[in-house]
Amino acid sequence: MATKYHEVKGRYVDSVLLMQITRQLEGHEGVSKVGVMTGSKENLEIFKNLGFSPPSDIKSTDVLIAVEAESDAAAQKAVDEAIQLMDKRTSDTKAPELTLDEVRTAFNAGDLPVLFVSTPGQYVRGIATKALGEGMHVHIFSSNVPEGDEIALKKLGREKGLLVMGPDAGTVIIDGKGLGFANAVRAGKIGVVGSSGSGIQEITVLLDRGGAGISAAIGTGSKDLSSQVGGVMTKMALEKLSDSEFLMVIGKRPDEKVMQEIISMMSSKPSAFVALGDSEKRTEGKTFVTGHIDDAVDFALKSCGMKQFAWKDEKAVRPDDSRKLLRGFFVGGSLCYQAQAIIAQNGVEVYSNGPRDDAHMIPKDWRGLNVCIDTGAEEYVLGKPHPMIDPKARNQMIVEESKRDDVAVILFDVVLGYGSAQNVLEGLEGVAKGPVLVASICGTSKDKQNFDEVRKGLEKLGVKVMDSAGRAAELASRLAG
Amino acid sequence: MLKGNLKVFCVGADWFYQEMLAQKIDVKKVEWTPPPEVPEDIASILGALAGAK
């Protein structure tokens, strides 16, 4: 085996682009390992975990190309191609139009300016503070932002009356336009706020299918409903959307006190709070509180004078008695969380890398257990694109597990929309029909991936396509055990 | 209220910038590179000086 390293000094390249180059080179003959990343501390750890020894002089402002191949020539060829691809992709993309200092000159009093940030987490505070100072709302897609930075930014945003959407906010829809991962949904009078990206996507998609539309969908970041952050941006977003006819909030494991404060704010208006994972349903004032997205959507449709869903429940037929295990592979973290709750409520013990409680954390060897895996979690995306952007690795996991003779059911989500891959079924070819395959599509007929074609593609592979992620989890839970 | 003409400025997000262009969002790409690294020994001296102010 031969290993080659190449440093590109002082060049910032978008991480998604670098990951796509990595993926492209991984498929080359004779190449066994590839890493193309900036030299940040976190990335150097990934290089080491991959078995590379990065040069000591590499800096976070540099890009490192590392290749292991069967020969010197093959490794050098891959390095050369990485350089070429990097040059080509960066010349294909438009050059920056302005600097951060010039942004203020590019919007006027009647505009709604939003700074979208997707840089490594440690740089976010400086960038976002400047934007807030200049009167812009901020959408922070980046994760790994220190908690102190998040709290300080949200305090500043609150003082200035500006939204700080994130950190780690996957989904925002304003004025019918999606920022981050979002679906093409109709405009309307329902305001959606949440700390859960794929949860917001599922809600807005189901509302759209039910004939309702949204005024806006504001992602507030995965930690906003924690006791430390105090729901500060969820509360502010609700104020901003107060002219909506109906309000919906969704969060994964919200802090009890924060949740009550928010329910108190909403309860004079028709509204729903989805506390993902909660098994109880209740009503407080005009607010319906539930753990299930489907129930909340039904309540919203009814409150808005629209017809509720006629959910179809598929009959569960097990392939044979020797197959007992359940597998769930998700690209949406909140859909994974909701599925676990539904499965557990139906009496099936399920483990996960994003579990409901510490007792259900997935162990190293999970082969003999029922599992739901969030393939967008950090341990699965180190040095790789998020599975919504590139679902191939997730889909190949489904194919691998489908070949086992003890798996009864494989559950998964397919997420369409802006930000998601064009070919969401890539890598799913060759899935075996031993276990029952159950999926839901989080998407609308207006999404770029063509909902009907995706549905047909899944059905052709023998997948039962359910009307929602919740319904899919219900069916899967009846097939396991 | 969230009123006004949506204008988005993208920092470090080529993939999403392209997705916004596809939606015909009024979006501009903002130049950004990570600030140069300060060696840890110098950073600690600067930190101590800042704390002494």
Question: Nearest residue of A to residue B36 by CA position?
Answer: A61
Give the 3-state secondary structure of A347-388. CCCCEECCCCCHHHECCCCCCCCCEEEECCCHHHHCCCCCCC
pLDDT digits (tens, 9 = 90+) for A53-94: 999 888 877 899 999 999 999 999 999 999 888 887 666 666
Question: Nearest residue of B to residue A117 by CA position?
Answer: B11
Q: Assess whether A174 and A297 both reside in one domain.
A: yes
- Give the CA-trace dihedral at A458, A462, A465, A470, to 10 degrees: -120
Q: Please report, for the domain that includes residue A65, its CATH number.
A: 3.30.70.60
Chain A residues with CB under 8 Å of B30 CB are: 96-100, 103, 115
pTM flag (> 0.95): no
Q: Assess whether A63 and A111 both reside in one domain.
A: no
Q: What pLDDT, on the 0 to 100 scale, is given for residue B52? A: 55
Within A267-317, residue ranges assigned H as helices are 293-303
Q: Assess whether A210 and A339 both reside in one domain.
A: no
Residue A174 falls within a domain, yes or no? yes
Are residues A96 and B19, on separate chains, in Cβ contact within 8 Å?
no
Closest CB from B20, B34, B37 relative to A12? B34
Our measurement of the distance from residue A133's CA atom to the centroid of its chain's CA atoms, rounded to an integer in Å, reads 29
Amino acid at A4: K
Chain B residues with CB under 8 Å of A123 CB are: 34-35
- What phi, psi does A199 have (nearest 5°)? -65, -45
Token match 């000159």: residue? Answer: A105
Two structure tokens written together for A165: 């959407």
- What phi, psi does A442 have (nearest 5°)? -90, 90
Are residues A14 and B13, on separate chains, in Cβ contact within 8 Å?
yes
In this structure, the strands spanning A187-194 and A246-252 are: parallel
Tell me which residues of chain B, numbers 5 to 34, contact chain A at a CB-CB cutoff of 8 Å. Answer: 5-20, 22-23, 25, 28-34
Residues in chain A: 481
Are residues A106 and B23, on separate chains, in Cβ contact within 8 Å?
no
Residue A318 falls within a domain, yes or no? no
Residue A366 falls within a domain, yes or no? yes
Chain B residues with CB under 8 Å of A103 CB are: 9, 28, 30
Chain A residues with CB under 8 Å of B13 CB are: 14, 116-118, 141
Are residues B13 and A118, on separate chains, in Cβ contact within 8 Å?
yes
Q: Assess whether A235 and A266 both reside in one domain.
A: yes
Two structure tokens written together for A377: 């979690």
Q: Assess whether A301 and A194 both reside in one domain.
A: yes
Question: Nearest residue of A to residue B3 by CA position?
Answer: A112
Cβ–Cβ contact B53 with A under 8 A: no
Q: Assess whether A47 and A113 both reside in one domain.
A: no
Cβ–Cβ contact B40 with A under 8 A: no
Residue A106 falls within a domain, yes or no? yes
Contact A249, A223 (CB under 8 A): no
Cβ–Cβ contact B38 with A under 8 A: no
Q: Assess whether A35 and A125 both reside in one domain.
A: no
3-class SS of residue A25:
helix
Interface test with A, best of B3, B6, B10, B11 (most A CBs within 10 A): B11
Q: Please report, for the domain that includes residue A129, its CATH number.
A: 3.40.50.720
The predicted model gives B11-35 an average pLDDT of 89
Q: Is the pLDDT of residue A379 over 60?
A: yes
Amino acid at B10: C
Distance CA A242, CA A251 (A): 19
How close A172 comes to chain B (CA, Å)? 12
Are residues A123 and B35, on separate chains, in Cβ contact within 8 Å?
yes
Q: Assess whether A341 and A208 both reside in one domain.
A: no
- Residues in contact with A254: Cβ distance below 8 Å, sequence separation at least 6, in sequence order: A195, A225, A231, A262, A275
Are residues B32 and A100, on separate chains, in Cβ contact within 8 Å?
yes
Chain B residues with CB under 8 Å of A174 CB are: 2, 6
Q: Establish, for the pair of chains A and B, how many residue pairs have beta carbons separated by less than 8 Å.
A: 134
Amino acid at A368: G
Q: Assess whether A54 and A179 both reside in one domain.
A: no
Interface test with A, best of B19, B24, B29, B33 (most A CBs within 10 A): B19
Are residues A115 and B30, on separate chains, in Cβ contact within 8 Å?
yes
Q: Is the pLDDT of residue A45 over 90?
A: no
Of the two residues A466 and A382, the one the predictor is more confident about is: A466
Chain A residues with CB under 8 Å of B5 CB are: 110-112
Q: Assess whether A383 and A452 both reside in one domain.
A: yes
Distance CA A140, CA A145 (A): 9
User: How many C-beta atoms surround the C-beta of residue A448 within 10 A?
Assistant: 16
- Residues in contact with A305: Cβ distance below 8 Å, sequence separation at least 6, in sequence order: none
Are residues B19 and A136, on separate chains, in Cβ contact within 8 Å?
no
Distance CA A396, CA A410 (A): 12
Residue A39 falls within a domain, yes or no? yes
Enclosing domain of residue A279: 170-310
How close A202 comes to chain B (CA, Å)? 20
How close B32 comes to chain A (CA, Å)? 7
Cβ–Cβ contact B49 with A under 8 A: no
Within B3-39, residue ranges assigned H as helices are 14-22
CA atoms A292, A220, A332, A50: torsion sign: negative
Q: What pLDDT, on the 0 to 100 scale, is given for residue B42? A: 66
Contact A216, A194 (CB under 8 A): no
Contact A123, B34 (CB under 8 A): yes
Peptide bond into A167 cis (omega under 30): yes
Q: What pLDDT, on the 0 to 100 scale, is given for residue A93? A: 67
Q: What pLDDT, on the 0 to 100 scale, is given for residue B53? A: 47
Q: CA triplet A226, A232, A235: central angle to 5 degrees? A: 110
DSSP H or E segment with residue A202:
helix A197-209
3-class SS of residue B24:
coil
Q: What share of chain B is helix, strand, coil (3-state, %, to 5)?
A: 40, 25, 35
Q: Assess whether A104 and A85 both reside in one domain.
A: no
Residue A460 falls within a domain, yes or no? yes
Q: What is the band of A136 on the pLDDT scale with cuts at 50, 70, 90?
A: very high
Of the two residues A234 and A316, the one the predictor is more confident about is: A234
| Region of poorest pLDDT, from A21-35, A97-111, A184-198, A418-432 | A21-35
Q: What is the mean pLDDT of chain A?
A: 93
Long-range contacts made by residues A454-461, C-beta under 8 angstroms, separation at least 24? A454/A414, A454/A416, A454/A424, A454/A425, A457/A425, A458/A414, A458/A425, A461/A425, A461/A428, A461/A429, A461/A431, A461/A437
Please tell me the total count of domains within chain A.
Answer: 4
Chain B residues with CB under 8 Å of A97 CB are: 28-30
Two structure tokens written together for A344: 């557990």
pLDDT digits (tens, 9 = 90+) for A158-180: 999 999 999 999 999 999 999 99
Closest CB from B11, B23, B37 relative to A116? B11
Distance CA A453, CA A461 (A): 12
Q: What pLDDT, on the 0 to 100 scale, is given for residue A71? A: 92
Closest CB from A59, A95, A116 relative to B10? A116
Residues in chain B: 53
Are residues B28 and A419, on separate chains, in Cβ contact within 8 Å?
no
Q: Please report, for the domain that includes residue A448, its CATH number.
A: 3.40.50.261
Q: List Cα–Cα distances, A277 to A184, A194, A196, A340, A344, in angstroms.
A: 27, 15, 12, 8, 10
Q: What is the band of B44 on the pLDDT scale with cuts at 50, 70, 90?
A: low
Distance CA A364, CA A352 (A): 11
Chain B residues with CB under 8 Å of A94 CB are: 17, 29
Token match 């066994």: residue? Answer: A32
Q: Assess whether A434 and A347 both reside in one domain.
A: yes
Distance CA A293, CA A322 (A): 33
- For chain B, what are the domain ranges? 8-49
Percent of chain A exceeding pLDDT 70 equals 99
**Cβ neighbourhood burial of A238 (10 Å; 0-12, 13-18, 19+):** buried
pLDDT digits (tens, 9 = 90+) for A240-277: 999 999 999 999 989 999 999 999 999 999 999 999 98
The predicted model gives A135-154 an average pLDDT of 95
Residues pairing with A215 in the sheet: none
